[in-house]
Amino acid sequence: MEIESAKCECCGLKEDCTQDYITEVKAKFDGKWLCGLCSEAVRDEVSRGKKPFGMEEAVKAHMSFCGKFKSNPAVRVADGMRQMLRRRSGDSSSSPSSGDHIISNGGCISVSLVLELYWSVQ
């Protein structure tokens, strides 16, 4: 089983995957390889979006959204995880929890989480 690096066509994050997995993901997302977080965001947009999106439209919308933010991929991943966890837990408030925080594209995220994610993608 050969492992290769795949780069997300939305956010640019790289993941090591098998060719079978890469092919499977591309088949689901209009021929584009998406990382796990972007895949979840697109699926969420299809199932819970305010506008009825098909998969192709949701992928294009998410790619456009990611293209607007040119920050470090680790910051985007951490911010996306924060937003996804808030939606899943039903907490839609934007107030940060206690601790060290930095400002990022519309919210606050943990500095330690950003640093951990940053070093994991290097």
**pLDDT tens track for 27-68:** 999 899 999 889 998 988 888 766 667 888 889 888 888 877
Distances from the Cα of 80 to the Cα of 24, 51, 90, angstroms: 23, 20, 15
H or E segment and range at residue 42: helix 36-48
Higher pLDDT, 78 or 109: 78
pLDDT of residue 102: 39
Its pTM stands at: 0.55
Confidence of residue 100 (pLDDT cuts 50, 70, 90): very low
3-state helix, strand and coil shares in percent for the chain, rounded to the nearest 5? 55, 15, 30
